[in-house]
Amino acid sequence: MQRSATLLALGDINLSGFAQEQFEQSMAYNALVRQLAAYDGVTLANLECALTTSTNLNLTKITLHANPELLQELPRIDVFSLANNHICDAWNEGADDTVQLLTQNGKIHFGYGRDLATARKPAIAEKNGIRLGFLGYSCLSTNGHNYATTVGSGVCPIALEYLQTDIPLLKNHVDHVIVVLHWGVEEAHYPTPDQIAVAHRAIDLGASAIIGNHPHAIQGIEHYKGGVICYSLGNFIFSDVDYEFLSQGNRVRLEGRMSIANKESIGVEFAFEKDTVSLRSIKAFKLDDYFLPNEVPVDRLHVNFSKLNASVEAYVNENSGYLGQINGPQIVTRFSNGKSGNYYLLKPIKADPASARLKAVLTRLLPKSLRS
């Protein structure tokens, strides 16, 4: 009988603003905790906050940080990706505290390190004789301030040169490579064309699955050359955010409130055999009044998940030649109110992405060297 292993990938986890009492009050959440405790596979999630008691915060941005004791309130998560734009919100001290806490609790983690080489270092989990390797990268559009360097701590950026080296190298030591990418446009239900191109390239290089996060909204799933691409899983555990911001030298309290789309996520279960990967099941979750996930039928989601998948498939079928010319994330720097930010040059695909009009608009935005 051929051996197999399952992996359940869950969405973003942010514990900022949570109190321990919340976890006790949600009956549906506690049922989910028991269900995941008994799960016969590997579980994975993106930890979108620092777990630290440090009060030294980066007040130039929304800061997500939480009491380390809240780690015990999470459902069973075996593997955490730290390659995101919030792991360093309490600077490197907070990120290092998080790494130490996860290690002490026997949690596998990847995507952050004391230097670029460490941030690029994969994590490996083995189940039923199947070795799964994990790599994590964060896109410049999500906040490049916490990128690791050859001599400094941080997360690993998305760069094709890293994928071209890291994926084949890891593939020599594991049965399957899973690439976790922190990318995309916030609130968007569709990926950008360059996201699709990067995901395809990663599969071409030997990855079996791509798992995306950061948009805080569900995006579609694509099957490509024997691999599975999940563009964004959405928010698994995430609350409204109250945070401090530094304005003209003064600390200001601000609020961030989530939309309906922000309160949904999917959990994607993969089945890995020695040489193949398949999509075993898709679970849907909605955040309840305590901002904790309750499992619901997929057709109860606010977003039409089948439509998302069909739109991505249609876009890829219509624009395969165009996508093949995109060589990595297409990012531009824009200045506003005296500050610079990095944004995707190519916008998310629409509900009817295969139209000639949209393709013409996107092509005009590309440098001449990339135009078809």
Question: pTM of the entire structure?
Answer: 0.91
Average pLDDT, the chain: 90
Q: Residue 232 corresponds to which tokens in the numbers above? A: 């964004």
Residue 319 has pLDDT above 90, yes or no: yes
pLDDT score recorded for residue 256: 78
Tell me the per-residue pLDDT of 181-205, one tens digit each, with 9 for 90 and over.
999 999 999 999 999 999 999 999 9
Higher pLDDT, 2 or 329: 329
pLDDT score recorded for residue 366: 45
Q: Residue 302 corresponds to which tokens in the numbers above? A: 């606010």
As to burial, measured by CB atoms within 10 angstroms (0-12 exposed, 13-18 middle, 19+ buried), residue 169 is middle
For residues 336-349, average pLDDT: 83
Give residue 3's pLDDT band: very low, low, confident or very high (50, 70, 90): confident
CA angle 91, 92, 94 (to 5 degrees): 75
Give residue 337's pLDDT band: very low, low, confident or very high (50, 70, 90): low
Residue 363 has pLDDT above 50, yes or no: no
Tell me the per-residue pLDDT of 112-171, one tens digit each, with 9 for 90 and over.
999 999 999 999 999 999 999 999 999 987 766 789 999 999 999 999 999 999 999 999
Give residue 367's pLDDT band: very low, low, confident or very high (50, 70, 90): very low
Of 112, 78, 121, nearest to 93 by C-alpha is: 112
Helix (H) / strand (E) containing 218: none
Helix (H) / strand (E) containing 169: helix 160-171
Residue 360 has pLDDT above 90, yes or no: no
Q: Residue 231 corresponds to which tokens in the numbers above? A: 């563009």
pLDDT score recorded for residue 365: 44
pLDDT score recorded for residue 247: 67
Give residue 353's pLDDT band: very low, low, confident or very high (50, 70, 90): very low
pLDDT score recorded for residue 263: 97
pLDDT score recorded for residue 92: 93
CA angle 21, 27, 30 (to 5 degrees): 80
CATH topology of domain 4-307: Purple Acid Phosphatase; chain A, domain 2 (3.60.21)
Tell me the per-residue pLDDT of 200-257, one tens digit each, with 9 for 90 and over.
999 999 999 999 999 999 999 999 999 999 999 999 999 988 767 666 667 767 677 8
Residue 317 has pLDDT above 80, yes or no: yes
Domain range list for the chain: 4-307
Helix 193-204 to helix 305-318 angle (10° resolution) is 80
User: Which pairs with CB-CB distance under 8 Å and at least 24 residues apart come from 68-75?
Assistant: 68/97, 68/98, 68/101, 69/20, 70/15, 70/18, 70/20, 71/15, 71/101, 71/102, 71/105, 73/15, 73/18, 73/20, 73/23, 74/13, 74/15, 74/237, 75/32, 75/33, 75/36, 75/37, 75/43
pLDDT score recorded for residue 344: 92
Residue 368 has pLDDT above 50, yes or no: no
Q: For 41-81, where are the alpha helices, taking DSSP H only?
A: none
Residue 354 has pLDDT above 70, yes or no: no
- Report the share of the chain in percent with pLDDT over 90: 80
Q: How far apart are CA 369 and CA 362, in angstroms?
A: 14
- Report the share of the chain in percent with pLDDT over 70: 90
